Amino acid sequence: MKKNISKIKTPDPGSKKKNRKISLSMKHAICLSVIITAGILSYLNSIDNSFHYDDIASITDNRSIRDISLVRIWKENNHFRFVGFTSFAINYSINGLENIRGWHYVNISLHICCAIAFYVVLILIMRLLGKDGSAISLSAALLFSVHPLLSEPVNYIQARHVLFYSLFTLSSTIISLLFISSRKSFSKLIFSLCMLISFVLAALSKEVGIFYVPSAILLTFAAFWDNIENNSFIKKRFYLLIFLIAAALILITHSIRPLTNLFSAGYSLGLGKRTFVVNLLTHSVIFFKYLKLLVPLSSHLNVDHNMTLIRLNSFSDCFLAFSSFFTLLFLSFIAWKRKKRDPLFFFLFFWGIMGIFPYMIVTKGSAELMIEYKFYLSAIGFIGLIMVFLNRFYQYLSMKYRHRGTGIIYGIILSLAVFFCISETRKRNTVWKNEMTLWGDALSKSPQSIKPHHNLGVYLSETGKTDDAKYYFYEALKIQPQSAHLHSNLGTLFLNEGNIQKAFHHFEKALSLGSQSVQTYNNMGICFDKMGKHDQALYQYYKALEIDRNNADAHNNLAVYYSKKKNWEKSFYHFDKALLAEPNNAKTYFNMGIAYFEKGDIDKAIFHFSQTASFEPEHLYAHYFLGMLSHSQKRLKDAVPHYETAIDLAKKAKNTTLLKKIQDHYQACIDQLNSSQKKDNDD
């Protein structure tokens, strides 16, 4: 009798590999879910925060984003920020300006995408080095997604440009790593095309994007040179990448200054001249100030760090600057020497330097020296370094003590650090709630800085609190008495109050201090007009046009001037110019309506008042004139709704004198309408 012998089943290698891929995919999916959740938790309380300072010019007052016209966006905005302005146009078409949450959702999403891209970069690097990088990648990307230092470009809508170029720079790095790993020529060609696309998108996100993408590609190839095939095109043509970096720097600076001008080129900024050497030394100091901000405390963060250029005639400034510069050089030398032994350290350190490098060498830049969003890209490198050191320290302890509890303790410490960062980021988000909270916080941290005083004054003047606005403007003048801009703002406040003498004094002071503001000349002209000095007013309006020949306000003021003189040809010429500059300007349409009314062309007057009301629905006088003119033309049914709207707006404005006039006209219109209807019924 034969016995059945059971066969031992050998495991299928293909099945094992498949299961390993599934478990690896699941691990990455969990890691990404944790990063996304942490990012959302960090910024969930920021979605109702208002627009801030440059958001006004770039978004709320920017007519070019009112429709998704790529040609108009390209023509009317900075070409190097085309991607960001296009995203603003899309945001506006979906959310308008009222639904601020939609704008914040985009910024938060971009920040989380940057954190995910950072995770992928580290995973690919560790794979290239033949190591398991899940722990380092997750911890670094997680800390990046929740760190309070990075909250400025997330809360500040206009800083979306920074998020875009950072994302495209990280994308180019991912593509470079895939290029190095690939052994197929066709794949390398595809990756090369993708690098080019990343470069174009980064360049169209912000000017510095021209520098960052080629630099990131160059850094990636330099760090992992040993992993590139010997006969590779990259190894043979590596100098081409270096040439791209140099070309990018030339594009940013527009011109390379000769060595003889290193101490004389540049422009005035606070104390001293912003020469190449002064700028380099100042940013060496700023670099270490940024590193201090990596300590995740929201109380250290400030929208106005009030950093000034170092003074070469000050011993303390020079000592601090040169010690910072040589320390930075020493650290760079150490990182370079460790390139062979520790390419990850080399990559992350020089990534951090890469992020700040353009600001160190370019003298033609923002007048503000230290802005937190400028460190956004650099933070990727240094947060990565922190987590690499912590992870290696954990591995050292694990090997030394060989205790399971070591991993648990490390996990608990990391979790506590993440939750602490989330708490601090959420605390910082509350500072960005509105202009008052933002600049109030800045003022408490930088009481001797002009910017918080000035911006609080602007915000309070816009909200109708003119006395408080004046207080902050005068406080700012104590710090910087020779500020033409502050005198101009004070003049505008007094002009709006009807205090022509004080307004004139401040505008005159602003002009004597060298103001080249179109608005100052315009307002000076209005002062002369109200003082009865019409010829002087005319001169000021034309001076404004010398600065900006397409300025709508200057053309508008000239049009009104000539309409008072009954010079209709010149008047309507300037009105047309004003509308060409700002096609949807309600003030211009209203003034044109008045001009046509005075000229006796009632139909055109009605048309222009209607346009005024369409662009500014709560324009009291537009509705009043529409009611009166429709009434005068016996179009009583058209007149009634305009009178009713004007009555509501007059009540809201508490203009009792005008309200009485409108009510009288309205009652007369109603009486005529009733009489007409009664007559029709009798017939």
pLDDT in tens, 347-397: 999 999 999 998 888 766 667 889 999 999 999 999 999 999 988 888 887
Confidence of residue 26 (pLDDT cuts 50, 70, 90): confident
272 band by pLDDT with thresholds 50, 70 and 90:
very low
Range with the poorest average pLDDT among 1-10, 59-68, 494-503 = 1-10
Answer whether 667's CB lies under 8 Å from 630's CB.
no
Q: Nearest to residue 510, comparing CAs of 497, 498, 494?
A: 494
Does 269 score more than 50 pLDDT?
Answer: no
In the chain, the N- to C-terminal Cα span, in Å, equals 124
DSSP 555-612: HHHHHHHHHHTT-HHHHHHHHHHHHHH-TT-HHHHHHHHHHHHHHT-HHHHHHHHHHH
CB atoms within 10 A of CB 387: 23
**Contact (Cβ atoms closer than 8 angstroms) between residue 672 and residue 664:** no
Over residues 38-61, the mean pLDDT reads 92
| pLDDT tops 60 at residue 255 | no
Poorest-pLDDT segment among 103-107, 140-144, 254-258:
254-258
- Cα–Cα distance, 62 to 458 (Å, whole number): 19
Which pLDDT score is estimated for 361? 81
Give yes or no for a contact between 512 and 496, defined as CB atoms under 8 angstroms apart. no
3-state secondary structure of 157: helix
Q: How confident is the model at residue 477 (pLDDT cuts 50, 70, 90)?
A: very high
Distance CA 451, CA 455 (A): 6
pLDDT for 146 equals 96
**Is 217 exposed, middle or buried (CB count within 10 Å of its CB: 0-12, 13-18, 19+)?**
buried
Region 437-457: mean pLDDT is 92
Q: What share of the chain is helix, strand, coil (3-state, %, to 5)?
A: 75, 0, 25
pLDDT digits (tens, 9 = 90+) for 573-618: 999 999 988 888 889 999 999 999 999 899 999 999 999 998 888 8
What 8-state DSSP symbol labels residue 419?
H
- pLDDT, position 260: 36
DSSP 273: B
Task: Give the model's confidence band at 234: pLDDT under 50 very low, under 70 low, under 90 confident, else very high.
Answer: low
Are 520 and 488 in contact by the 8 Å Cβ rule? The answer is yes
CA angle at residue 16 from 35 to 18, to 5 degrees? 50
pLDDT at residue 249 in the model: 56
Mean pLDDT over residues 641-660, rounded?
89
Cα distances (angstroms) measured from residue 187 to each of 71, 140, 174, 681: 34, 29, 14, 85
Calpha distance 403→408 (Å, rounded): 10
Provide the pLDDT confidence category of residue 252 given band limits of 50, 70 and 90: low
Do 430 and 45 touch, CB atoms closer than 8 A? Answer: yes
Alpha-carbon span 625 to 605, nearest angstrom: 9
pTM score = 0.82
pLDDT for 604 equals: 92
Residue 262's pLDDT band, with cuts at 50, 70 and 90, is very low
SS3 51: coil
Q: 85: how many CB neighbours lie within 10 A of its CB?
A: 25
HSE at residue 579, side-chain half, CA atoms within 13 A, is: 17
Region 193-208: mean pLDDT is 90
What is the per-residue pLDDT for 241?
59
- Cα 97 to Cα 58, 101, 515: the distances in Å are 12, 10, 32
- In percent, the amount of the chain with pLDDT more than 70 equals 88
Query: Does 257 have pLDDT greater than 50?
Result: no
**Are 275 and 265 contacting, i.e. CB atoms less than 8 angstroms apart?**
yes
Q: What single-letter amino acid sits at 466? A: T
Q: Which whole-number Å values give the CA distances from 523 to 178, 273, 469, 470, 538, in the listed order?
A: 59, 32, 18, 18, 12
Rg of the chain on CA atoms, in Å: 32
Average pLDDT, the chain: 86
Q: What is the pLDDT of residue 683?
A: 55
Residues whose CB falls within 8 Å of the CB of residue 212, separated by 6 or more in sequence, listed in order: 165, 169, 202, 354, 355, 358, 377
- For residue 576, what pLDDT is reported? 92
Instruction: Please tell me whether residue 654 adopts helix, strand or coil conformation.
Output: coil
Q: How far is CA 578 from CA 236, 402, 599, 613, in A?
A: 58, 78, 19, 18
Structure tokens at 461: 């003047």
Report the share of the chain in percent with pLDDT over 90. Answer: 50
Per-residue confidence band for 198, with pLDDT thresholds at 50, 70 and 90: very high
